[in-house]
Amino acid sequence: MGTHTLDYLEELESEAIHILREVAGQCERPALLFSGGKDSIVLVHLALKAFRPGTFPFPLLHIDTGHNFQETLDFRDQLVERIGERLIVRHVEDTIQAKALTEPSGRFASRNTLQIHTLLDAIQEFSLDACIGGARRDEEKARAKERVFSVRDAAGQWNPNLQRPELWSTYNGRVQKGQHVRVFPISNWTELDVWEYIQREGIEVPALYFAHEREVVEQQGQLMATSGLFPQGAAAAIRRRVRYRTIGDMTCTAAVPSEAATVAAVIQELLATRVSERGATRLDDQLSEAAMEDRKLKGYF
Amino acid sequence: MDILRLIIAGSVDNGKSTLMGRLLYDSKSVMQDQLEAMEKHSRSQAAGCPDLALLTDGLRAEREQGITIDVAYKYFSTTRRKFILADAPGHVQYTRNMVTGCSNSDLAVIMVDARHGLVEQTNRHTLIASMLGVPHLVVAINKMDLVDYAQERFEQITSEFSKLTQGYTFQTLTFIPMCALQGDNVVQPSTHMPWYQGPTLLRFLEQVEVRRHTNLSEARFPVQYVIRQQTSPDYRGYAGKIISGSYRKGDVVRVLPVGMESVISAVEVGGQKVEEACAPRSVVLRLADSVEVKRGDVIVKPDSLPTTTQELEVMLCWLDNKPLLSGNNYLLQLNSSVVQARVGQVAYRVNVTTLRQEPAPEHVAQNDVVKTTLHTDSPLPHDAYTCLRENGGAILIDKTNLATVGACMIQ
């Protein structure tokens, strides 16, 4: 008899597949939030394992800020074509026009928080009752408190008082009309787990995650890609060998100096680093101590 | 490398946060920028010594609104294991938080202040850990520096605690003397207590043998979702997670609650056929006969059947701030099965501090633990919680606001 126990990646994988299938079993109109980053790519891989040979019981939904790296968008389109699933794209630019929103300006201006409007509009447009996301609890302390099935109120807000106790692996994804749940199948994964899984499964990720030469400017100690999207100030553009630890908007995601050109090298780099993932790269979290908490309360991913 | 899920029970006063911070810090799971952020916000900054308790600090919303989000999770790993650490906040809503945190834990660490020994809270923590079926218990006897690292004091507490746990059935019970503030016996062995020969806490966490899901005789597969594909012939597969036992091609199985039998024609993982799969793997089972199987059904083997009844005796922990009313109807969810359940008469309430049975209260309030009966509208295949935790723990859901309001351990 096979009495072997699962190793940690198999256990995390099994847990995530179980969560995805609970969404399919409990929710009527779910969608998978896809950003083109490694965490959402892993989610797609897990969904293939959960539902093949059938089709996904949900579309992929990308909220495009218009400030994405071109490599990310190309990768997204190739992936969607390969798996033959439905992709919905909604553009922050359209929301800005339609709702006459004011774009932030000045230093570190970013459309990061404007995504919330587009996301909540899309949730309403498609009457979504569940949005699957790739957020992990190890990323940030507000996310450390997140449930796997996390209720959002009718205004799309994360109301800590609505959070349900989550016992065993029994998930309650029922919501009242107008509310929805955010579901996080890889809650219990760390950045390292994600990379070790990518390695084991041979999952393809955008080349931005590996060391490459790029023109950057230094802003407050962070290396930002030159893009013409934000005022560069007096800083001169320099060429550096860098990679991205997270892929978000070009305006708020920094590159890190790196020589790691393969998945194995990235794993070695992560084992040695003393700086956290978001600490190294995310200007959006460094605005204040509770920056993520504030965005989550309003309906952020 | 496998995963150990644990909970540390205690309050700020007996050093819980310091211990958690110490485990994260000494296992190098805290990054430089997180330390710097912590030091920046430290109110009491002793030079060169970060306040480790801040690593588990709450949200601004919790501080401002005086609310508690039940459990936060921390992650650390060593070369031997990955650890998922549940942090259940101490004072407010303690029973509810502890019940939630324990429900997924393989091991509980109970903090005892060496100066005070066993206090009311120790009883409460131990009872809940036992009631939720946490297999391994570690008693961390902390602040040994404040009792001069005295072996006599340690042994006194050990013997009192052993008396307390006589009625309980923990698989292992381990006592570790420590000083979390300075790190004695957390990750590094203590130089102050040469009389203690046992492992440090981290060493023990790395080595304790966790035998989950090895109960091969009781095979349980709750169906979550049916995968259909119009091919020739049509594809139909039952997606779910094996919560106990193992399944292989050719096994005779029974589908509950209806009871029809069939044979497994294929076990698949990610669209690939496999010979056999064990708990806790997520798989797809395919059956030889075209029987009607739906979400909520449980595929089992006929040689070890769960109980399938409409009347359940349960220990119920009430989680909601509205009281429980006998006679009310709720939804009862056990894995993927959902049935309607009416709560019968409450037999008694357990005083979680004195551990005594008390007369049933008129209204069962939040954090109450009571013995009661549930009458379901259709048969529910289940196991006794103490025999098979994976198929004996269920939640009650309020039918009007759909919140999770109760945790049931089926007897």
Residues A35 and A176 in one domain: yes
**Rounded distance between C-alpha atoms, residue B369 and residue B8, angstroms:** 21
The one-digit pLDDT tens for each residue of chain A (301 residues) are: 344 678 999 999 999 999 999 999 999 999 999 999 999 999 999 999 999 999 999 999 999 988 888 999 999 999 999 999 999 999 988 888 888 888 877 666 777 788 888 999 999 999 999 999 999 998 877 788 889 999 999 888 888 777 899 999 999 999 999 999 999 999 999 999 999 999 999 999 999 999 999 888 887 778 888 776 666 666 788 899 999 988 877 777 888 999 999 999 999 999 888 787 777 666 666 656 677 777 777 777 7
Residues B143 and B14 in one domain: yes
Residues B35 and B163 in one domain: yes
Tokens standing for B188? 């590094």
What domain range includes position A35? Answer: 8-192+290-298
Q: How many domains does chain A have?
A: 2
Q: What is the pLDDT of residue B108?
A: 96
**Rounded distance between C-alpha atoms, residue A81 and residue A86, angstroms:** 9
A240: contact with B, CB 8 A cutoff: no
Residue ending a domain, among B300, B325, B341, is B300
Kindly give the interhelix angle for B120-131 and B151-164, rounded to the nearest 10 degrees.
Answer: 50
**Rounded distance between C-alpha atoms, residue A123 and residue B92, angstroms:** 35
Q: Are B218 and B304 in contact (CB under 8 A)?
A: yes
Q: Distances from the Cα of B282 to the Cαs of A9, A196, B240, B254, in angstroms?
A: 13, 19, 6, 19
**Coil/strand/helix, residue A65:** coil
**Coil/strand/helix, residue A44:** helix
Residues A225 and A186 in one domain: no
Q: What is the CA radius of gyration of chain B?
A: 24
Chain B nearest CA to A219, separation (Å): 17
Contacts 24+ apart (CB under 8 A), A103-107: A106/A231, A107/A219, A107/A230, A107/A231, A107/A233
Count of residues in chain A? 301
Q: How many domains does chain B have?
A: 3
**Rounded distance between C-alpha atoms, residue B173 and residue B35, angstroms:** 34
CB contact under 8 A, B225 and A49: no
CATH of the domain at B311: 2.40.30.10
**Rounded distance between C-alpha atoms, residue B10 and residue B17, angstroms:** 9
Residues A64 and A165 in one domain: yes
Give the nearest chain B residue to A189 (CA atoms).
B75
Within-domain flag for B215: no
A49: contact with B, CB 8 A cutoff: yes
Q: Which of A105-109, B162-166, B175-179 has the lowest mean pLDDT?
A: A105-109
What domain range includes position B228? Answer: 220-300
A280: contact with B, CB 8 A cutoff: yes
Q: What is the pLDDT of residue A2?
A: 42
Residues A157 and A270 in one domain: no
Chain B nearest CA to A166, separation (Å): 6
Pick the residue with more confidence: B357 or B35? B357
Residue ending a domain, among B281, B300, B319, is B300
Q: How many CB atoms lie within 10 A of CB A260?
A: 18
Chain A nearest CA to B389, separation (Å): 9
Within-domain flag for B374: yes
Residues B141 and B168 in one domain: yes
Residues A98 and A62 in one domain: yes
Residues B91 and B191 in one domain: yes
Residues of B in contact with A138 (CB under 8 A): 75
Residues B192 and B333 in one domain: no
Q: What is the pLDDT of residue A216?
A: 87
CATH of the domain at B148: 3.40.50.300
ipTM: 0.93
Pick the residue with more confidence: B21 or A235? B21
Residues of B in contact with A143 (CB under 8 A): none
Q: What is the pLDDT of residue A258?
A: 92
Calculate ∠ Cα A181-A183-A188, nearest 5°: 145
A13: contact with B, CB 8 A cutoff: yes
Within-domain flag for A198: no
Tokens standing for B58? 């709450």
Residues B23 and B132 in one domain: yes
Residue pLDDT, tens place only, B358-405: 999 988 998 899 999 999 999 999 999 999 999 999 999 999 999 999
In the block, tokens 């109450």 appear at B368
**Rounded distance between C-alpha atoms, residue B88 and residue A270, angstroms:** 29
